Each structure stands twice: as structure tokens, then as C-alpha cells.
Amino acid sequence: EAVLSGKLNFRYIDRILFEWKKKGLKTAEEAKEHSQHFRSQQKAPPSKEETSTYKRQVPFYNWLEQ
């Protein structure tokens, strides 16, 4: 779980194990299901296509030629 999250310190790993214990997860299968459920609830970061398709909010007005 820590590797998938990109966090490799022992404190993060300890918190994951503490949460699993608090929720009563005892098997690897239960932990895997919990992890999948947790990740499905988080918002995905915007894709590159969404950020590259910026549309101008304000109309363009050329002051030099008017």
C-alpha cells in the first residue's frame, strides 16, 4: 500500500497498519478490498487533455486596431 502511494517511510506504513487494525482487517484479501474501495472514492487528478483544452473566459478585444 505504501509503495503504491509512493510513500516509503515507516511512519506512513505504521499508520496504514493502525487503520487496518482499527477497521478489523485481518487478511491480505480484506486489505486489498479496502484499498480498492479507498482509491475508488478519491478524486482522480485532471488528465492532460482536460488541462490543455483551456477555453478563454473573456472575449478577446484588439485595442490596437479599434
Domain range for 10 is 1-35
Residue with the three cell numbers 505504521: 14
Q: Is residue 65 part of a domain?
A: no
pLDDT per residue, tens digit, the chain (66 aa), is 888 888 889 999 999 999 999 999 999 899 989 988 888 887 666 666 555 666 667 777 777 876
Grid cell locating 44: 482522480
Looking at residue 14, what is its pLDDT? 93
In the prediction, which pLDDT does 62 show? 77
pTM of the entire predicted model: 0.56
- Residue 34's alpha-carbon distances to 4, 5, 20, 21, in angstroms, are 14, 14, 9, 12
DSSP state of 56: -
- Count of domains in the chain? 1
Q: Do the domain assignments include residue 15?
A: yes
Q: Which of 16, 20, 19 is nearest to 3 (CA)?
A: 16
Q: How many CA atoms are closer than 13 Å to the CA of 44, on its beta-carbon side?
A: 5
Q: What is the pLDDT of residue 18?
A: 93
Tell me whether residue 8 is in a domain.
yes
Residue 9, in any domain of the structure: yes
